[in-house]
Amino acid sequence: MTEQGDLDRIDAVFQVYEVRTSGPVIKYYGEPKVDSKTLFTHLWNDFAQRGYDIELRREYGEYVLVATPVSDAGEKKHVNIVLAIATVFAIMLTGAVLFYGVNPLAQPLLIYKGLPFAAAVMFVLGSHELAHYLVAKRRGMRASLPFFIPLPFISPVGTLGALIQLKGAIPDRKSLFDVGVAGPLVGLTAAVIVTIVGLLLPPITPGTALMPTVALGVPILFALIEKVVPVASTSLHPIAFAGWVGMLITSLNLLPVGQLDGGHIARALSGEKTTYISAAVPLILMTGGIYYSLNGLNGEMLLFWGLFTLLFAAGGHPQPINDMKKLDTKRVVLGIIAFGLCIACFTPIPFQA
């Protein structure tokens, strides 16, 4: 970024009178011609495409535009790998107990029976997070590899899902929207495929499994698939249940709260107004949970998600560098469809004994 063409591009918003380099770091000394927001909007994408983050500083009374190369060297990828392996084991353990009645202490060698269930769930979660990661990279945004969250025994499916960490600035609403919507759409597609495969598979022999004693809430999308696909059995195959899990996770991710996927989409659609929506959703979920619990139904999941989303709402949402340019009509329609899919995949009482 020291060639004359690059300097001319910078000079349009920042008058450069000296350039210094310190290793890979480039410092442009000069005077801003516009406010900092306009400056970053004008320059961020150019620097990001060349692998740099930029920052405007004051050093000894001078303005300095500092370009620092982005590096993934500090990422501890072994953490992602360990969490992924732990999540596979946690889901496999859950599947073995739920569907085959395996006692993990007395029958540890039979835990492998939950492996198909684990593979199906990880396919859905992995597809979801990989879509986020690839779109973020394509938009010049820094993103971590997926962090899978194992939660055996506490979570009814052995996991709380997965997440990626976005680092650095968000260039504009379009990029924010694309990253937010990519995961749910790809993940839900994977969930639908898994559901269809599971419904077509022959029934398993459950033995003393726990699943037959639990009634599942059926989301609208799952019910529609059951009407179209020739179901092989009245009992739910573990692979079909993995599809059900994928739909549930998709619906929860699409809630318009904080930095959940739905929060990204809502923020890109409506800007700062999303703050009010983000504050209201946890209260609605907790109110619903209390109502169901008082009426003898299982409202614990709604209460849990109300409290969980309250944390996301409290964290707020980072502002894109270019927050003025609104989304095009195509993305607005796609955003409305995404929230429609949230409703189609949602069930207020996922489990009822």
**Cα–Cα dist 281/305, whole Å:** 10
The helix (H) or strand (E) run that includes residue 26 is strand 25-32
**Cα–Cα dist 286/249, whole Å:** 18
* Tens digit of each residue's pLDDT (9 = 90 or more) over 237-252: 899 999 999 999 999 9
Span of 19-33, 223-237, 288-302 with lowest mean pLDDT: 223-237
**pTM of the predicted model as reported, rounded to 2 decimal places:** 0.84
Q: Where are the domains of the chain?
A: 4-69, 77-352
* Tens digit of each residue's pLDDT (9 = 90 or more) over 31-69: 999 988 788 888 887 887 787 888 888 888 889 999 888
Burial of residue 198 (CB within 10 Å: 0-12, 13-18, 19+) is buried
> Which residues, in sequence order, are CB contacts of 7 under 8 Å at separation 6+?
16, 19
Give the CATH architecture of domain 4-69: 2-Layer Sandwich (3.30)
What residues does 27 pair with on adjacent strands? 20, 66
**Cα–Cα dist 192/298, whole Å:** 26
- Beta strands 142-143; 166-167: pairing state: antiparallel
> Which residues, in sequence order, are CB contacts of 13 under 8 Å at separation 6+?
32, 33, 34, 38, 39, 42, 43
